[in-house]
Amino acid sequence: MSFDLASRLAERRAAQLYRQRPLLQSAQGAEVVVDGKRLTAFCSNDYLGLANHPQVIEAWQAGAARWGVGGGASHLVIGHSQPHHELEEALAQFTGRPRALLFTTGYMANMGVVTALVGQGDSVLQDRLNHASLLDAGLLSGARFSRYLHNDASSLNNRLSKASGNRLVVTDGVFSMDGDLADLPALCAEAKRADAWVMVDDAHGFGTLGATGAGIVEHYGLGQDEVQVLVGTLGKAFGTAGAFVAGSEELIETLVQFARPYIYTTSQPPALACATLKSLQLLRTEHWRREHLAQLIARFRQGAAEIGLQLMDSPTPIQPILIGDSGRALRLSQLLRERGLLVTAIRPPTVPAGTARLRVTLSAAHSLEQLERLLSALAECWALLARERDQHD
C-alpha cells in the first residue's frame, strides 16, 4: 500500500486551503519585489524595520570577517563563540534576568524548554490558541497535556486543580494570529496559587511592548517570580534570526544539560549574534520606532472601523481582519495584490475553522502615506467583494 499524497493535496486545494510560497526577490522592507512584482508589504513580522538596517548589515559583515560564517559545532563542543556569549549577557540584562540562552530557532527553544522541564507524571497546561511549536512541545514532552480556554483564568484554575506532578502553564505573550495580549496578571495569579510555573513565549511582544521594548512581562510590570520562563525570538522585532530563553541560573543550567534541541544542534553563525547585538542597541535607543508604530496602529484601527471591517481585539502591530470564509479571504488578498499591496490570507488549520482572515502587520518602516494607501484600497476592495457576493447570491 502506497501513500496517497495526491488525494490529500487535492482535498486541500478543493477546500481553498492550499498554500503556496511567494518568492521574495528583494530584501525585507516596506517595499518588496515578490514574484517579479513590486508591492507594498503588510505581512512581515519585521515590526521595527531592522531586518535591512544598514548598521545591522555592517555588524553582520564585520562579524563574518572576524568570526567566519558558520557556528562549526554545537555550543557544548566548540560552537559557543564570544559573540554568542556577549549576546546572551546582553539579553539577560535587557530582560532583567540572571541568564539567557540562545537557540537556533523559536520552535527549537519552545521544544527544548518544555521537554526539559516536564515529562511523564507532570502536567503542562496551555492556552488553546498557543503557537504550534508550544502545542507540539507539550504533546512530545510525555507530560499530561491539557488546554484551557483562550485567555481564561477560571478555565486554567479548573484544569490546575486536576493537574499532577510539576505543573507548567504555557502561553503566548502576544497571540500571533489574533494579536491580542495574554492576561498575564490573572494567569500568573492562578499559577501561583497552584504552585505552578509560568512560561511565556513572547515572540511578538519583544521590541514592541513595554516601556523599553522588553515585552509583555515589562508591559504588565511582572518579574521572574511571576514568569519563571521567558522565551523570545530574534527574527521579528529584532530583525535577525534565532531565539533565546531568559530566567534563573538554575533554569538556564538545566536547559544546557537537558534540552535536546540545544545540545544536539550546531550553534547559529557568530556573525548573526554580532548583528543581533546591533539590533538590540537600536531597539533600546531609537524609541521613535515604537512611537511611530503606535501611531500606525491607532490610525489603522480608526480607518478600518470607518470602512466597517471586523477587526480583532489587538493593540499590537498584528491587525487581523476577520473574514470567516477562506475563499473570500483569498479573494480580498488577491484584489489588494492587484493594487500593489501584499497582505496574506490566513486560513485553517493555522486558525480555527470559520475564522479565515487577512493578517495585516504593521512596521516602523511603513510611512503614514503607505498606510493611507492600504486603507483606501481596503475600502475599494471591501465594497467590490460585497458586490460580488450580492451578485453570486
Give per-residue pLDDT as tens, 190-228: 999 999 999 999 999 999 999 999 999 999 999 999 999
Say what the pLDDT of residue 387 is.
85
Distance CA 167, CA 359 (A): 33
Rounded Cα distance between 178 and 226, Å, is 24
Active site residue 236: yes
What is the spatial distance between Cα 227 and Cα 185, in angstroms, rounded to a whole number? Answer: 10
**Rounded CA gap, 229 and 220, in Å?**
15
Average pLDDT over residues 273-302: 97
Give the cell for residue 128. Answer: 488553546
Start-to-end Cα distance in the chain:
44
Amino acid 391: pLDDT: 75
- Average pLDDT of the chain, as a whole number: 96
Which domains are present in the chain? 18-47+287-392 (3.90.1150.10), 54-285 (3.40.640.10)
pTM for the whole thing?
0.94
3-state class percentages of the chain: helix first, strand second, coil last, to nearest 5: 45, 15, 40
Residues in the chain: 393
For residue 122, the SS3 value is coil
How large is the average pLDDT for residues 359-379? 98
Closest by alpha carbon to 51, among 31, 23, 28, 26?
28
Cis, bond preceding 349 (omega within 30 deg of 0)? yes
Please indicate whether residue 350 or residue 153 has the higher confidence score (pLDDT). 153
**Strands, E assignment, 329-387:** 341-342, 345-346, 356-361
Identify whether 176 is a catalytic site residue: yes
For residue 271, give the C-alpha cell. Answer: 556573525
Q: 219 is written with which cell numbers?
A: 508591559
Q: Residues 84, 204, 219, 278: which is the catalytic one?
A: 204
Mean pLDDT over residues 80-107, rounded? Answer: 98
- pLDDT per residue as tens digits for the range 166-198: 999 999 999 999 999 999 999 999 999 999 999
E strand or H helix at 65, and its extent? helix 54-67
Q: Which three cell numbers stand for residue 358?
A: 487577512
HSE (side-chain half, CA atoms, 13 Å) at 186: 11
DSSP 155-220: HHHHHHTT--SSEEEEEESB-TTT-PBP-HHHHHHHHHHTT-EEEEE-TTTTTTSSSSS--HHHHH
Sign of CA dihedral 247, 252, 254, 258: positive
Comparison of pLDDT for 390 and 20, the residue scoring more: 20
Please tell me the predicted confidence (pLDDT) of residue 191: 98
pLDDT of residue 15: 86
Instruction: Report the run of H or E that residue 244 belongs to, with start and end.
Output: strand 243-247
Q: Say whether 204 is catalytic.
A: yes
305: pLDDT strictly greater than 80: yes
Residue 59: all three cell numbers together: 555588524
Q: Quote the pLDDT of residue 393.
A: 61
Q: Reduced to 3 states, what is the DSSP secondary structure of residue 5?
A: helix
Q: All 3 cell numbers of residue 57? A: 548589515
Among the options 123, 155, 176, 267, which is catalytic? 176
- 3-class SS of residue 87: helix
Q: How confident is the model at residue 1 (pLDDT cuts 50, 70, 90)?
A: low
- What is the per-residue pLDDT for 230? 98
Could you report the per-residue pLDDT of 314-342, keeping only the tens digit for each?
999 999 999 999 999 999 999 999 999 99
Residue among 219, 236, 292, 366 flagged as catalytic: 236
Instruction: Give me the mean pLDDT over the 58-64 stretch.
Output: 98
